[in-house]
Amino acid sequence: MAGNGKPKVAFFDFACCEGCQLTVVDSLQTHLELVEAVEIVQWREAMSEKGEDYQIAFIEGSCARQEDEERLKQIREQAAIVVALGACAHTAGVNALKNLQPSPDGYDSKACDDHKTC
């Protein structure tokens, strides 16, 4: 909790279009009471400051790469509450389809994810 008694909230993005976060930004324009109820400490779409002390984490996007899994675990260790925001966060969406079958054109998505070759 912040010194003002408000829970600290952070938004994180993984593989996604970030449309769900933009929808939240749009919604908050007409629901300012929600913004006043929390202290937002990290949200790349809406602010440049970046705080690492948060109790609630909103996750948007799919965890489609090995390094995403580690980052997600770190966020989960920090946050008391984790909220999956949007379809990609819930079901992995289109971004994770590359992991289900080999590419027909021989593109090795695993090698690209490991920064070996693209």
pLDDT digits (tens, 9 = 90+) for 8-42: 999 888 877 777 777 777 777 888 888 888 888 88
Residue 83 lies in a domain: yes
Residue 96 CB neighbours (<10 A): 18
Residue 69 lies in a domain: yes
Residue 88 belongs to what domain range?
A: 8-113
Q: How many domains does the chain have?
A: 1
Which burial class, exposed, middle or buried, applies to 62 when counting CB atoms under 10 A from its CB (0-12, 13-18, 19+)?
Answer: buried
SS3 of the chain: helix, strand, coil, percent, to 5: 40, 20, 40
Residue 95 lies in a domain: yes
Q: Are strands 39-42 and 56-60 parallel, antiparallel or unpaired?
A: unpaired
Is this model's pTM higher than 0.75 or not?
no
Residue 67 lies in a domain: yes
Q: Residue 78 belongs to what H/E stretch? A: helix 66-78
